[in-house]
Chain A
Amino acid sequence: MRAIGAIAWRELASSYRTATGWVVLALYLALSGFYVGFAVLEPGGPASLRPFFAVSQWLLLFVAPAVSMRLFSEELRTGTLEPLRAAPVGEWAIVIGKLTGAVAFLLTMLAPTLIFPLILAWLADPEPGPIVSGYLGLVLVGTAYLSVGMLWSVTTASQVLSYLGPFFVFVGLWIATGTGASLAGPPLDEALYALSFQLRIRDFARGVIDLGHITFFLAFTTWFAVLTVVALEVRRWR
């Protein structure tokens, strides 16, 4: 557990050690702030952050791979992965530690956006429930994105590929579970809809916490973490 904590802290600290981390953070805040300021806080409109949560899942699509691309690719490029693996920690601890560090970065990225509900509360009287559930949804979907990015980064030393890979995976998943599902028709559409992030996040954004959705995102993350562990093992046996 201590090893996981140490790896996570190292990841988080390294994210802010380079300018990239701060730029990614500022870019995310600028884009989401622009959307909230110009599209959500409309006089006469509903005092709700639901549109922000809907858009944030798209913004995270661009931001999450930028966070995850460094997780292993950087170590592979600089050759620091082998010393890490030589340390008395297993693959599981490395993977969980790195994922925890990335999620911690995600949380620090979302933390400044709490100014949005504060401003909303200053202007109107929004319902707190949907805001709480919306943030929970963002953390869960962000973690799922990071887990896919982490798997991709363990497969290549190129950070560009580590960024583009998960990005296109999610775009593909988005299309398959949206337009693709409606074109496929029954019975395939049911399975595709079940994989849809969009449908599940919608519930969080409107103030509904569904056990099925939480389980889905946790299972999704776990599955990719398992694949990452296996991918790390494969590197050892190559």
Chain B
Amino acid sequence: MRARFAAQSIVLIALATIACVLAVALADRAGVRLDLTLAGEHSLAPQTRQLLGSLEEDVLVAVTMDAAALPREHRQQLNDLLDAFSRTSLRVETITINVGSAEAASRADRVLDVARERFAEIATAHRAAIAEMREALAESSTAARSVIDAVERLAASSASTFSAAQVSAQVFRDQLDRVGELPPPGDFADARRDAATGVLTAIAAAADRLTQTLRVTADQRALELANRAAVLRDRAAVAAEAGAGLDPNWAGQVEGALQQEQVVLAIGKHSVAAATFESLFETDASGGLVLTGERVLADAINAVSDDAPPIVRLLHGEEPWLLDEQRVPTPGARQQLSYLFGLLERRRIDAVEWCPAVDPLPPSLDAIENAPVRPVITVLLAAPSDATATDRLDALASAVRGIVERAEPLLATVHPSRLPGVGSGDPIAESLEPLGVRPRTGLLMVTQQSTPTGPRTAFDQTATPAPTPGDALAQAIAGLPVVVPRAVPIELAPDTGARAVVELEASERRWGETQWLGPITGQGPRPEPNIGRDWVDGPWPIVVASEANGARTVIVGGPLWFADRLVATGAAPGNAALLDASLTWLGGRDDLLAPNADARAVPRIPALSPSRRASVRWSLTLGVPVFVLLIGAAWRVVRG
């Protein structure tokens, strides 16, 4: 009997174990989850889920952070968000590296191992190129000094004939003297590659100059030396070219990024995208920090999985000043527009500068990888700062007209203009009219405010767009304050596919003023609304989207809405969201438009008076337990 009981018990336990394990495994695999938060805080936006579902290659997302410096609730939110990404797609793996933890080093090594494995071919090519450059440099250095010595001996024999060659030789020698030996090729040496390329390019240039000056002399000995110098030049140039033609050393960039304290990395199969840790958060309307990392992570993942990110043409009415010859933002541009350039870099969007005042034709995109298959978005940043430069204004308007005629995506900023006030049309505004919009650049939105010192006229306008179901662009900025300095109202033609994205609400104290030049310079009288002259009936659209003629266009009425003082400081979160969402929408990636920060706002406990706070604390700590004990005592008394 005992044996039978033992057998029965073993079978029962085994069956229970199998049933329990199976049930848990099946339920875990089913992935049935119910998000009870009102804002769907733990559910990714449908657009993000679509992006993650479409991934065909693995992406590793690594977030390094100083967890101790991050408030608890934000840390939790971030972990939840990363969980949601990895749960939604088996292609996405997430790793958080808390720089203050004992596991930081091993986790960073894991990320680096993935990068090294994925970009092993590029690293090998880099090592080979650096070895080749080191060899070329060593050979060139010895041979070059021999040639230089020979040239100097020639110059000593006939100074007048070889004076130019002697100067070139001296330049060459100086160049060689400045070059030390290149460091040995490490695994991840992007900077070394660039340095070596620069050195060899300089040596090739010096050798070329010496070759040319020697050939001019027509002396047989000099020609022989010129040939030797030409060989050196070619050797150095070939080696430099080998280095310059390499893909970016992504693994090296990952290693560099991991040395920063806080960074977000998305490591794909073919490239890496990085964002600052701070970009995962935004400041909401109440000044609180809000996690908006879903969009940043989705952007980064999209950047490493999207073979054709957009190209942006930065169009303006000045001389070139934004980008240098390598299309890198100039220090001045980065100082004023760091948010814009940061956004472009984060999304791996290449930028070119178009200045019609210098060249009416759009800049060539030949140097940009995959340019023919990438959407090109033109961003009209600003009209000429000199209002009297009508030729520049006309050139700019002509460029805009061409974009509209070619039905190309356009993000346009329009400025208040004095031209309509003197009876002329604003050519920029007129060039946009085929899109079904009419920027009223002759008007300036003003708001009359009451202050303790009397009425005041405000020229900066703020609007908080309401949610607009069905309009992905409007939804992306809904609830976020958009600040437009010197706002220009935009009139919409009916049935043209143009719609208002941001409107200034109707108010008796607000209107579109025609006589704004005096007040804005502080010289005229305080403006008053004039029903016959001004646009007094709101609402007034100040951001408009158009899909007329199959072309997507976003027009913002007002200059400098994307300037750092608004978008990089958190002063106008709607502006940052508008810039980001506009580029996404114009690039045709509606699938990447995610809900904005406002939807993620967390309700907070208000300030409490000390007495109220103390009463709540002690009621909970002592009041409730004592009350329960009293009930217990009463129970015992009653029941005996």
Contact = CB atoms under 8 A, between A and B. Distances in A.
Interface of A: 16-17, 19, 21-23, 25-27, 29-30, 33-34, 36-38, 41-48, 50-51, 112, 115-116, 119-120, 123-130, 132-133, 182, 194, 203, 206-212, 214-216, 219-220, 222-223, 226-227, 229-230, 233-234, 237
A45 B9 contact: no
B345 interface: no
Most buried by B among A119, A212, A222: A212
Contacts of B20: 219-220, 222-223
Most buried by A among B30, B629, B635: B629
A206 B36 CA distance: 9
Interface stretch (B122-130, B152-160, B619-627): B619-627
Contact of A127 (B9, B19, B37): B37
Contacts of B635: 16, 22
B618 A210 contact: no
Interface string B239-271: 000000000000000000000000000000000
Q: How large is the interface on B (under 10, 10 to 19, 20 to 34, 35 or more residues)?
A: 35 or more
Contacts of A123: 605-606, 608, 616
- Mostly, the A contact residues are helix
Given A46-B604, A130-B36, A223-B20, A212 B620 contact: no
B42 A206 contact: yes
Interface string B8-47: 0100110011011101101111111111111001100000
Interface string B63-87: 0000000001100100010000000
B550 interface: no
Given A219-B24, A227-B13, A50 B617 contact: no
20 contacts: A22-B631, A26-B626, A30-B622, A33-B622, A34-B620, A42-B605, A44-B604, A46-B602, A115-B624, A124-B603, A128-B36, A129-B35, A209-B36, A210-B33, A212-B29, A219-B20, A222-B16, A223-B17, A223-B20, A233-B5
B621 A34 contact: yes
Contacts of B565: none
B526 interface: no
Given A26-B629, A43-B613, A226-B13, A115 B620 contact: yes
Interface in B519-572: none
B406 interface: no
Closest 6 pairs (CB-CB, A-B)? A129-B36, A22-B632, A33-B620, A215-B27, A37-B617, A212-B28
Nearest to A33: B620
A59 to B, nearest CB: 13
Contacts of A124: 603-606
A46 B16 contact: no
Nearest to B626: A26
A139 B362 CA distance: 67
B30 A212 contact: yes
Contact of A214 (B13, B27, B38): B27
Contacts of B625: 26-27, 29-30, 33
Given A129-B38, A216-B24, A233 B9 contact: yes
Given A207-B35, A209-B33, A43 B607 contact: yes
Contacts of B621: 30, 33-34, 37-38
Given A26-B628, A124-B603, A210-B33, 19 more contacts: A17-B639, A21-B632, A22-B632, A25-B628, A34-B621, A41-B605, A45-B605, A47-B602, A112-B624, A112-B628, A120-B605, A123-B605, A182-B103, A212-B29, A216-B28, A219-B19, A222-B16, A229-B12, A237-B1
- Mostly, the B contact residues are helix
B605 A208 contact: no
B624 A47 contact: no
Contacts of A126: 603
A46 B42 contact: no
Contacts of B617: 37-38, 41
B2 interface: yes
B628 A230 contact: no
Given A26-B628, A46-B603, A208 B620 contact: no
Contacts of A222: 16, 20
B241 to A, nearest CB: 44
Given A16-B635, A26-B629, A33-B625, A47 B604 contact: yes
Given A16-B632, A37-B620, A230 B603 contact: no
B633 to A, nearest CB: 8
A208 B36 contact: yes
A20 to B, nearest CB: 10
A47 B632 contact: no
A237 B608 contact: no
Nearest to A113: B624
A48 B30 CA distance: 29
Contacts of A26: 625-626, 628-629, 632
B205 to A, nearest CB: 54
A119 B36 contact: no
A40 to B, nearest CB: 9
A22 B628 contact: yes
Contacts of B608: 41, 43, 123
A128 B603 CA distance: 12
Nearest to B84: A208
Nearest to B608: A43
A37 B618 contact: yes
B616 A119 contact: yes
Contact of B620 (A42, A116, A227): A116
Contacts of B607: 43-44
A230 B33 contact: no
Contacts of A33: 620-625
Contacts of A16: 632, 635
B13 A237 contact: no
A226 B12 contact: yes
A112 B76 CA distance: 27
Nearest to B622: A30
Contacts of B27: 211-212, 214-216
Nearest to A119: B616
A47 B605 contact: yes
B283 to A, nearest CB: 15
A229 B12 CA distance: 10
Contact of A234 (B9, B620, B622, B633): B9
A190 B300 CA distance: 28
B622 A226 contact: no
Given A47-B605, A222-B20, A230 B9 contact: yes
Contacts of A44: 604-605, 607
Contact of A223 (B16, B80, B605, B633): B16
A133 B35 CA distance: 9
Contacts of B633: 22
A2 to B, nearest CB: 24
A148 to B, nearest CB: 14
A27 B628 CA distance: 10
B39 to A, nearest CB: 8
Contacts of A41: 605, 608, 613, 616-617
A216 B19 CA distance: 11
A133 to B, nearest CB: 5
Contacts of B38: 127, 129
Contacts of B24: 194, 212, 215-216, 219
Nearest to A47: B603
Contacts of B620: 33-34, 36-37, 115-116, 119
